[in-house]
Structure 1
Amino acid sequence: MKKHIHKFTLMVGQNTVRSEGRIHRVLHVAFQGDKLCLWAEVDTDDSAQLNHFHVVGTGFNVPNNVARHIGSVVEDPYVWHVYQM
């Protein structure tokens, strides 16, 4: 297994991002400047894959097909919640 840390930019709503291998572990979600970013360890020995995330604000519906909560990010006055699908 050869792991590298990769950064992915997310938007509010459903996101599909291509990774250069299997995402082994999500490390962090935060704003970098005005962009919501997700950092993850990617196993680059695996083949490229599509990954699905959903970003929802506090007070909005969480889709039924989300697998797990990744993290939450404060962008005053909003709080965004990132889920893996």
Structure 2
Amino acid sequence: MSEKRELILKYRNDVVNGKKLTRSTISELFNINNKFLLNLSDAANYITRHFHGSEVDIEELANIKKNFCSEDCTFCS
């Protein structure tokens, strides 16, 4: 396994175990070579599923034409 793949897995496991990534680590991940994007995407999906499962929250913009919405949903915020 390549060094970059191992780092991605390490960072994934760190996040799952509650560790926060440093700015330099995040910068390193933002600047990763394109050939590792699938590995990075898989790690992000793993983290998302770990913390949020596979549920989807669907919102509807029923009052969009009125320029006022009394709902307190997560869509606009």
Is TM (by shorter chain) over 0.5? Answer: no
Greater per-residue strand proportion: 1
- TM-score using structure 1 length: 0.23
TM value normalised by structure 2: 0.25
- For the pair shown, which has the larger CA radius of gyration, 1 or 2? 2
